[in-house]
Amino acid sequence: ISGPAGTYVRTGTSGSGNNYSYKESKIYKAGVLIDDILFKLNFSVPSIDEVKKMIVTITEGEYGQGDWFSIFVGACAYVVRRKNGNLLPMTDVAAVVCCDTYELGRMVNRVVSFLDWKLPEFDIVYLYETTLRNSPSFSCIEAEKKEVMLKQGVFLVQCLIKWFVTTGRRPV
C-alpha cells in the first residue's frame, strides 16, 4: 500500500510506450501461429517461405484470426508438401491444427481451386513402402522378411488400384 505507484498497461501497448494497431497485432499473431504450425509439421526453411508466400497471396496480406485460420495454414502446408512430391498425411496435419480431416480437406480444395492448381496424384504404393520401412511396429522384423512383406504388400496395393477398390468407382 505504501509502495510506489504502478503504471497502467493498456491492451495493444508495450512497456516502451509504442502503440500497435489492430492490424499489426493481427499480423504478428498470425505469424506466430504460422511458425508454430509449420514447426510442428517439421517444415524446412524453403518450404516455410513457400507456405508464407501462399498465405500472403491468398489473403492479400490481411491474414486472419479464428479457428478457420489455423485450418487454412494447415491446408496451405499440405498443398505445398503435395506439390513438391513429399508425403504428408492429411491426418497428421489435422491433428496439428485440431480439426477433422473432412474440414481440412474442404479447405485444401478451396486453396487449390483459388490458386487454380492441380495437385499430383497421391502415390499409395509409396505411402505403403514408407510406412512399412519407417513404422516402429516393424522395426523388430528382420530385413529379409520385411522385403518379402514389402513385395507382397506392393502387389496387393497395385491390385487394389487396378480393380478400382481404392477409388470406389467399382466397389467389390
Cα 104 to Cα 6, 14, 76, 86, 98, distances in angstroms: 47, 36, 10, 18, 10
Which residues 6+ apart lie within 8 Å of 21 measured at CB? 12
Question: Residue 4: which pLDDT band, with cuts at 50, 70 and 90?
Answer: low
Mean per-residue pLDDT for 113-139?
A: 85
**Per-residue confidence (pLDDT) for residue 85, from 0 to 100:** 79
pLDDT in tens, 146-157: 999 999 999 998
- For residue 19, the cross-strand partners are 13
Question: Residue 7: which pLDDT band, with cuts at 50, 70 and 90?
Answer: low
**Per-residue confidence (pLDDT) for residue 11, from 0 to 100:** 52
**Per-residue confidence (pLDDT) for residue 16, from 0 to 100:** 52
CA atoms within 13 A on the CB side of 30: 22
**Per-residue confidence (pLDDT) for residue 110, from 0 to 100:** 95
**Per-residue confidence (pLDDT) for residue 106, from 0 to 100:** 95
**Per-residue confidence (pLDDT) for residue 148, from 0 to 100:** 94
Quote the DSSP letter at residue 13. Answer: B
**Per-residue confidence (pLDDT) for residue 1, from 0 to 100:** 59
Question: Residue 129: which pLDDT band, with cuts at 50, 70 and 90?
Answer: confident
Cα 171 to Cα 32, 164, 166, distances in angstroms: 45, 7, 9
Quote the DSSP letter at residue 12. Answer: T
Question: Residue 169: which pLDDT band, with cuts at 50, 70 and 90?
Answer: low
pLDDT in tens, 47-93: 999 999 999 999 998 888 888 999 999 999 999 999 987 878 888 89
Average pLDDT of the chain is 85
Residue of 35 and 9 predicted with greater confidence: 35
- For residue 126, pLDDT over 90 is answered with no
